[in-house]
Structure 1
């Protein structure tokens, strides 16, 4: 399954975004924290903003549904207890839930992929005052300058590239932008890019459910749909990397209108090589 390409983001930054996610992983049939997991949780405790943590336990599909549900709950409670003993007054542990095998982000076809499903996700939300909103970084358009003037590693927007809710099908307004993008990549054969997919409003999961594919990697499938389009235009697939950013970098948070939702259902582009 292509969702194997999905990866979770782990970061702590000085300027706190609207949401963050960190995940810790477990050995088969275990809910004991290893040293790496403890170090990662310890880094969360150092956050100084007024935050709330929501904790979700997950499993692979090795056991029965009932057993996996209990195991995921034990994993979630282990993380919650570890954090509870150390967090300060600025952090609220809002919920601790075991999901069992409900939210598989990989297909369990290899030991490595099964390991990615044996995890606890900690969603970290900033506590807002009533009516407060945040705006994400506004990136320049990929078409606003020549390739030669761009910096490798810079992120750019793809204007009007937005998607139908819950699907990896883009709105008709994206067609002109994607044709223009394909022409630029064809005319600049040394250019390599990363397509970063985003979703809106599913804050109980890292990523959203793709209603067409029934997988929880919607941000990745959106970016990959554009890659498949570009490959059909004759661009070598090796020049295009695809990642799913889930809901972690919204343009607008929290969303209040349909326009807000549409803005967050997007794909951005990073210049990797020119």
Structure 2
């Protein structure tokens, strides 16, 4: 338990926000003992924090039923935390999202289970005017593949996206063509594309205005994956994932330049 608290604290000092989730049985809003242990760890954090709580469901049942069930789950978490937290932690909001904002499809029981959850967004209270900069990664093009280490993360400079969409700005075309060329020249290389969003702090992920789904960070990464496939790169060499809003380059965003910097995709070397 102590190790978990330390890890959460260290994460909060390196990032503007963190997310933890607890999971529920089918058709249930009762906390398991494992979930209670995880919430106990959150309640013992000593820094000044704000918690925002969001309940979720899988797609079983009607919209009205799932809205109520997600609210019951969110309030179960809120009520448990309320008994535990000190004055340094503020429960800022408690919301049931129902089944309308799925971040996983429901094709398997494991994915349905992941949709039966409550997300707790943890925000560190910031001083007036404070801006936190996330970790800046070196460009993928700054090193030779032979000099890179597996699992290292790199930026894709100038690859930024239109707000609310998975379409990158024109300046990214040259960069992505260069990326395709490197992957063609190194056929053993495998990568993960990690998508990010800005601004939407009421959800883990943003709405893709074109697809009407709430997985914008994923659809941005997947758009680049599809582009690389069109250039002849095998899909087995590329993994696309969505990181939501939890790793901003600039937080909070105050101007369009900040928004644009956070609408990005980063690349992780999986194999070389």
TM band (smaller chain): over 0.9
Structure 1 residue 88: Cα displacement:
2.1
**Structure 2 stretches of 5 or more lacking a match?**
1-6
Following superposition, the deviation at residue 48 of structure 1 comes to: 2.7
Instruction: Give TM-score, length-normalised by structure 2.
Output: 0.93
- Inter-partner Cα distance in structure 2 for 1:191 and 1:100: 41
Q: 1:14 aligns with which of 10, 15, 26?
A: 10
What's the offset of the Cα at 1:86?
1.2
- What SS does structure 2 have at the residue aligned with 1:85? helix
Indicate which of 252, 255, 263 corresponds to 2:253. Answer: 255
- Match of 1:39, SS state, is helix
Q: CA deviation at 1:13?
A: 5.0
Q: Give 1:143 shift.
A: 0.6
1:8 maps to which residue?
A: none
Native 8 Å contact 2:191 2:238 kept in 1: yes
* Between 135-144 and 103-112, the greater mean CA deviation after superposition: 103-112
Q: State the Cα distance separating 1:103 from its structure 2 match.
A: 1.4
Q: Which of 201, 205, 208 is the equivalent residue of 2:206? A: 208
Q: In 1, distance between residues paired with 2:102 and 2:151?
A: 31
Instruction: Give the TM-score normalised by the residue count of structure 1.
Output: 0.93
Deviates more, 1:88-97 or 1:191-200: 88-97
- Pick which of 200-209 and 124-133 moved more: 124-133
1:39 corresponds to 2:37 = yes
Runs of 4+ in structure 1 displaced over 3 angstroms? none
Q: What is the CA RMSD across the aligned residues, in angstroms?
A: 1.3
Match of 1:7 in 2: none
CA distance in structure 1 between the aligned counterparts of 2:103 and 2:269, rounded to whole angstroms = 27
Q: How many angstroms apart in 2 are the aligned matches of 1:271 and 1:248?
A: 21
Distance in 2 of aligned mates of 1:82 and 1:254:
29
For 1:4, the equivalent position in structure 2 comes to: none
Query: How big is each residue's C-alpha offset from its partner over 1:3-51, in whole Å with a ceiling of 9 and x where there is no partner?
Result: xxxxxxxx72514211111111111110011122122222222323211
| Conserved 8 A contact 2:52-2:93 | yes
- CA deviation vs aligned residue, 1:38-79 (integer Å, no higher than 9, x gap): 222222223232110011111223222222222111111110
Work out the number of aligned pairs and report it: 264
Which residue of 2 is the match for residue 186 of structure 1? 184
SS of the residue 1:122 aligns to: strand
Say which is worse superposed, 41-50 or 88-97, in terms of deviation: 41-50
